[in-house]
């Protein structure tokens, strides 16, 4: 089940919310846990057992850590949670990648496992690890109520594509939270804006990307259209999902951390990663980079720390060499910014450099293989004698020009600023209600028409 689907919007969500609001406070987490397990099992019931096992694993390790009287005992149970959870992640997500690479290097033919990748396993594994690590560090209190803990792990708003919600962020809210019509209204508004980002913008940019792949006309201009389209596609897809998750959480009384803050407004790659997928960047910073020594080590060790963290960041996104290179590319750019005085350049030039780097990086990110990535870069820069322009290129540029304009505008703070200004007017409430109603109707029309693309981050 996905947020941008008719079954979720018109069947699952209304039933869950009505039941949740009518439920006495002490039963709300139980209802949330049951609803979340239904949500997860809807698409892959065979892997529902893995979710239940994950809940029991971290719940049990948390209790054992709390009862351990020595630091060594606590460390043992922390190691159990880390080894088993990362082992499962490695088996399901990375086993075939390493086996394929091993076969290519050795010439052997070790059979692949070909296991189905559990949706959202990268997200909920990192969330669970935050619990036992913070418990070991003394930054969190043990959760002795298994229903409350299960509701945290399996909570459907952010279960399968984030944001990555650490246990300490919602520890108090799991025990007690307030629901109000105002919070529900604000959550619904955030959810519908995210739905519009996904269905109207992201899915249409995805359609153009598919047209490029299927087209018989290869031109330099069409290649750049594809690159920019995917850059906007992945932003509106992922930030739209994050908006929906945050909105749903707010309707349920939870405050989830922000995940995006207009990253395409950045003037450095460093700033870009402070604005893009912020919960993942914060997780790697606090649980990998700083424990390795961060920047409080020798210059050589610091470079190793940067390369390690960004190689892991790339691997987190996918089990393929293009993701590894994607992560290392950003590591190189971040190191470069520490050496070169780029902050002395005019702001427009710095912004242009960042956007060029991001667009090119996402070409690598979206390639099905390294050979396809090489071909895509060749097309961008006119290698192999590609023409600059073509009739089909012109047709698609004219057809999609309004979408590109809307996408560029939507990736800036201007729409939010305009909405805030209108909200303060006398007709603000009426205008908002009309806009959100129209947005829901348009999204529903797209979904009924079958214009749907799966969330990109489901595969991670």
Q: For the chain, what are the domain ranges?
A: 6-176, 183-459
The candidate with the shortest Cα–Cα distance to 280, out of 330, 232, 320, 230, is 330
Distance of CA 273 to the CA centre of its chain: 13
Q: Is the dihedral of CA 99, 101, 106, 107 positive or negative?
A: positive
The predicted pLDDT at position 459 comes to: 56
Taking phi over 0 as left and psi of -120 to 50 as alpha, with beta for the rest, 60 belongs to alpha
Annotated active-site residue in 277, 317, 351, 416: 317
> Angle of helix 71-89 relative to helix 121-137, nearest 10 degrees?
170
- The tokens 């944001």 sit on which residue? 163
In the annotation, is 351 catalytic?
no
Burial 343-361 (b: 16+ CB within 10 A, else e): eeeeeeebbebbbebbbbb
Separation of alpha carbons 352 and 94, rounded Å: 35
- Whether the CB-CB separation of 386 and 259 falls below 8 Å is answered with no
The predicted pLDDT at position 71 comes to: 94
Catalogue the long-range contacts made by 351-356 (C-beta closer than 8 Å, 24 or more residues apart): 351/265, 351/266, 351/267, 354/266, 354/267, 354/268, 354/269, 354/271, 354/272, 355/264
The predicted pLDDT at position 12 comes to: 95
The predicted pLDDT at position 39 comes to: 94
The predicted pLDDT at position 452 comes to: 56
Alpha-carbon separation of residue 34 from 11, 22, 25, 41, 153 (angstroms): 16, 15, 15, 11, 12
- 320: Cβ–Cβ under 8 A, 6 or more apart, which residues? 97, 369
Alpha-carbon separation of residue 377 from 39, 163, 221, 360, 456 (angstroms): 40, 31, 12, 8, 22
pLDDT profile of the chain (460 residues), mean per 10: 88 95 93 95 86 96 95 96 97 95 92 91 95 96 96 93 92 90 94 96 95 90 97 96 96 95 96 96 96 93 96 95 96 92 88 96 95 94 88 93 96 93 86 93 88 59
The predicted pLDDT at position 308 comes to: 97
Q: What's the whole-model pTM score?
A: 0.94
What does the H/E/C string look like for 375-433?
HHHHHHCCHHHCCCCCHHHHHHHHHHHHHHHHHHHHCCCHHHHHHHHHHCCCCHHHHHH
- The tokens 């300490």 sit on which residue? 168
Distance of CA 155 to the CA centre of its chain: 16
- 268: Cβ–Cβ under 8 A, 6 or more apart, which residues? 337, 342, 343, 350, 354
- 255: Cβ–Cβ under 8 A, 6 or more apart, which residues? 169, 170, 173, 249
Alpha-carbon separation of residue 215 from 103, 210, 362, 396, 401 (angstroms): 34, 8, 20, 11, 18
Backbone angles phi, psi at 262, to 5 degrees: 50, 60
The predicted pLDDT at position 172 comes to: 93
- 116: Cβ–Cβ under 8 A, 6 or more apart, which residues? 44, 46, 47, 92
How buried is 262 (Cβ within 10 angstroms: 0-12 exposed, 13-18 middle, 19+ buried)?
middle
Distance of CA 324 to the CA centre of its chain: 17
- 127: Cβ–Cβ under 8 A, 6 or more apart, which residues? 152, 153, 164, 165, 166, 167
């Amino acid at each position: 089940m996905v947020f941008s689907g008719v079954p979720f919007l018109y069947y699952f969500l209304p039933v869950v919310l009505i039941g949740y609001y009518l439920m006495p406070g002490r039963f709300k987490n139980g209802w949330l846990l049951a609803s979340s397990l239904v949500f997860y099992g809807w698409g892959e019931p065979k892997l529902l057992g893995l979710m239940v096992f994950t809940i029991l694993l971290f719940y049990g390790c948390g209790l054992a850590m709390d009862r351990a009287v020595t630091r060594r005992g606590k460390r043992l149970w922390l190691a159990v949670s880390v080894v088993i959870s990362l082992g499962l992640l490695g088996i399901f997500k990375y086993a075939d990648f390493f086996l394929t690479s091993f076969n290519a290097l050795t010439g052997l033919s070790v059979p692949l496992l070909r296991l189905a990748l559990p949706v959202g396993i990268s997200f909920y594994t990192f969330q669970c690890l935050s619990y036992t690590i913070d418990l070991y560090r003394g930054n969190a209190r043990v959760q002795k109520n298994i229903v409350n803990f299960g509701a945290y792990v399996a909570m459907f708003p952010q279960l399968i594509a984030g944001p990555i919600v650490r246990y300490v962020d919602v520890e108090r809210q799991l025990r007690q939270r307030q629901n109000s019509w105002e919070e529900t209204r604000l959550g619904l508004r955030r959810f519908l804006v995210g739905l519009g980002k996904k269905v109207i913008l992201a899915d249409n940019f995805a359609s153009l990307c598919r047209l490029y792949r299927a087209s018989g006309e290869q031109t330099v201009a069409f290649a750049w259209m594809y690159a920019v389209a995917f850059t906007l596609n992945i932003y509106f897809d992922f930030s739209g999902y994050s908006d929906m998750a945050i909105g749903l959480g707010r309707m349920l009384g939870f405050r989830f951390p922000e995940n995006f803050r207009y990253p395409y407004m950045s003037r450095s790659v460093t700033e870009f990663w402070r604005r893009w997928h912020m919960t993942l960047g914060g997780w790697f910073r606090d649980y990998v980079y700083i424990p390795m020594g961060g920047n409080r080590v020798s210059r050589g060790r610091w470079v190793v720390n940067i390369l390690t963290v960004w190689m892991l960041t790339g691997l987190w996104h996918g089990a393929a060499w293009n993701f590894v290179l994607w992560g290392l590319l950003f590591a190189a750019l971040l190191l470069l910014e520490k050496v070169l005085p780029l902050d002395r350049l005019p702001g427009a030039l710095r912004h242009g450099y960042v956007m060029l780097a991001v667009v090119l990086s996402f070409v690598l990110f979206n390639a099905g293989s390294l050979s396809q990535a090489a071909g895509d870069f060749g097309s961008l820069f006119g290698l192999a004698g590609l023409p600059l322009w073509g009739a089909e290129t012109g047709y698609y540029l004219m057809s999609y020009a309004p979408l590109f304009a809307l996408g560029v505008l939507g990736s800036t703070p201007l729409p939010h600023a305009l909405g805030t200004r209108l909200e303060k007017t006398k007709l603000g409430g009426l205008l908002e209600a009309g806009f959100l109603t129209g947005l829901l109707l348009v999204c529903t029309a797209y979904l009924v028409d079958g214009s749907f693309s799966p969330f990109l981050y489901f595969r991670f």
